[in-house]
Amino acid sequence: MKFSGRTLFNNTTIEIALCDNRVQSIRQVSTTDGNIQIAPAPIDIQVNGFAGFDLNTETVTPKDVCAMVRALWRVGTGFLCPTIVTGSFDRICNSMRAIVDACKTDPLINYAVLGIHLEGPYISAEDGPRGAHPLAHVRDPDWNEFQRWQDIAEGKIRIVTLAPEKKGAIPFIEKLVADGIVVALGHTNASADDIHAAIDAGAKLSTHLGNGAHALIRRHPNYIWEQLGADELWASLIVDGHHLPPAVAKSMIRAKTLNRCILVSDAVALAGMKPGIYEFAERAVELTAERCVRLVGTEYLAGSAIELARGIENSVQFARISLEESVALATLQPMRLLNAEQHVEEKTNLILFEWDAAQCNIDLIATIVADELVYHAEA
């Protein structure tokens, strides 16, 4: 089997030869069949679930984790940080074990999992900033508790999202940073002083900036503006048209600049499912026909129902950036954040697709991870 196409970032025409679904050679050629684009495999640093598989249930298994990762490959997401949200100590332990055991079971899954993202439980207890996280399990940072989770995770926790105003948060951030963990601010009702104290302690990222917030806040100052204006903080953005209106996504990308933005899906298990009422993070949620996930009976969002490729498409359309720039927000930028360049670039990790510029649509043809063809549209 052979694929040929034009690389997105350096505009080179190449041919990829495979045997038994493994890459055998990549060479430069003079012509290509069709209009195939070739880009690095996207990296999603915030995935709670997908295609019916939920990382945050009491019953999640290593088999579920493997199936979720493979489902993501079928929509073009090559790498990920499985995301564990606020819950009881035991439930979080179980989710950690499921991810670790999945990585031990399948070397390809292990390669694709760049680390675990722990989103909570050290977040704001207020309605709005707390989002869909269960109030009963929100708590102050506890280093001993975190260390027990990291031990179970065998060191795989790479990102921690927390609220810097919580009691003990600043020294907790300092310890995380000293251990090489990316600290993200999110689900917070922080003051300007709290945010800048967290930055001084080493916080580097704002998780889904503009979300995990009150429905109504003071015009200015507020915790969104403070994070948006902080050059020290990168921002992850959910560009699904629901979490951030198009004009807001455009403004945030321009304010942060392309060098400090990362696209995430924040996908939950409902992504890829039919509209209806489901359960997420111990709460009843509704998936609408417009692929919007809300807590039942409220205006609060509860994760997204998109895959990362849709965020790439929307960013081109909403922010008026190029396809190359948008793809970089889902590939080069998260790779830089996690210092994962060597890991990702040591093998062939690509997506092949056709791009409809008029419709801003990615038509995925194939996904290659660790030199292996893990998805082919014609298979």
Does residue 211 sit within a domain? Answer: yes
Does residue 191 sit within a domain? Answer: yes
For residue 246, what are its two tokens?
Answer: 């198009």
Q: How high is the pLDDT of residue 34?
A: 78
Does residue 232 sit within a domain? Answer: yes
Q: How high is the pLDDT of residue 30?
A: 87
Q: Report d(CA 272, CA 173) in Å as an integer.
A: 35
For residue 335, what are its two tokens?
Answer: 């790779």
Name the one residue in this structure whose structure tokens are 């030869």: 17
Helix (H) or strand (E) holding 328: helix 323-329
Report whether pLDDT(215) > 80.
Answer: yes
Q: What is the mean pLDDT of the chain?
A: 96
Task: Give the number of residues written for the chain.
Answer: 379
Peptide bond into 246 cis (omega under 30): no
Does residue 142 sit within a domain? Answer: yes
Extract long-range pairs of 16-24: CB within 8 Å, 24+ residues apart. Answer: 16/348, 16/350, 16/352, 16/368, 18/373, 21/372, 21/373, 22/371, 22/372, 22/373, 23/348, 23/368, 23/371, 23/372, 23/373
pLDDT digits (tens, 9 = 90+) for 154-213: 999 999 999 999 999 999 999 999 999 999 999 999 999 999 999 999 999 999 999 999
Its pTM stands at: 0.96
Does residue 15 sit within a domain? Answer: no
Whichever domain contains 261, its CATH number is 3.20.20.140
Q: Report d(CA 329, CA 260) in Å as an integer.
A: 9
Number of compact structural domains in the chain = 1
Q: How high is the pLDDT of residue 283?
A: 78
**How many degrees, rounded to 5, is the angle at CA 315 between CA 311 and CA 318?**
125
- Min mean pLDDT across 56-65, 261-270, 285-294, 328-337 is at 285-294
Owning domain of residue 54: 42-340
Q: Report d(CA 174, CA 205) in Å as an integer.
A: 14
Does residue 10 sit within a domain? Answer: no
pLDDT digits (tens, 9 = 90+) for 270-279: 998 889 998 7
Does residue 372 sit within a domain? Answer: no
pLDDT digits (tens, 9 = 90+) for 47-93: 999 999 999 999 999 999 999 999 999 999 999 999 999 999 999 99
Does residue 100 sit within a domain? Answer: yes
Assign 280 a pLDDT band (cuts: 50, 70, 90). Answer: confident
